[in-house]
Amino acid sequence: MIAEPTRELPRKQAAGSEPKEQVAEPMGTGALSDVGAHLSEIREHLGHLVQAQADAVKGKLLRAAIVVVLTFAGLVAVVSSVATVVVLLISGLAGGVSTLVGNRIWLGNAITAIVLMAVSTFTIRYQWTRFKAARLRELVGKYERRKQRGRARFNRATGDV
C-alpha cells in the first residue's frame, strides 16, 4: 500500500498556552474542499453578472419604450395642433368668401370646399406624376449601368444582338 503525501496544518494557539501538536492531513482532501468553495464563489459571481446584464437590458428596453410613448404623444399633439389650425383657417376663408358673395354662408362654404378639393386633387396628381417619372428615370439608369458593366466585362450586353 502506498502512503498518501501529507502536509502539516498549522493550528492556532491561544496566547500564553503551550504549542499544540500538529495534525497531519492528507493533501488531497483540503484541495478538494477548496475547489468546492471556489466553485460556489464563482457560481455566485456569475449569477451576479447575469443578473446585472439582465437588469441592463431591461433598463434599455424601458428607456426605448418611454421614448416610443413620448414620441407618440408628441406626434398626437403636433397633428392635433395642425388640424386645429387648418380647420380655423378654412373656416375663416369660408367666412371671407361668404362675405364676398353677399353673406350667403352656404355659398361661401361650398365655393371654399370646391376650390380646396380642386387644389388638393391637382397637387396629388402632380406629385404622383413626378414620383412615377423619377422612379422610371431611376430604373432606366439602373439598367443602363448594368448594360455598361456587361459590355465592359463580356464585350456585349443584354439586348445587344
Q: Domain span at residue 77? A: 35-151
Query: Between 41 and 78, whose confidence is greater?
Result: 78
Count of domains forming the chain: 1
The answer to the question of residue 14 being in a domain is no
Mean pLDDT, range 132-151, rounded to an integer: 94
Q: What is the mean pLDDT of residues 85-102?
A: 96
Query: Considering the domain boundaries, does residue 49 fall inside one?
Result: yes
pTM: 0.52
Query: 23-26 and 6-9 as β-strands: parallel, antiparallel, unpaired?
Result: antiparallel
For residue 16, being part of any structural domain is answered with no
Q: For helices 105-154 and 27-100, what crossing angle results, to 10°?
A: 130
- pLDDT-based confidence at 91, cuts 50/70/90? very high
pLDDT in tens, 6-59: 555 555 555 556 655 655 555 556 667 788 888 888 999 999 999 999 999 999
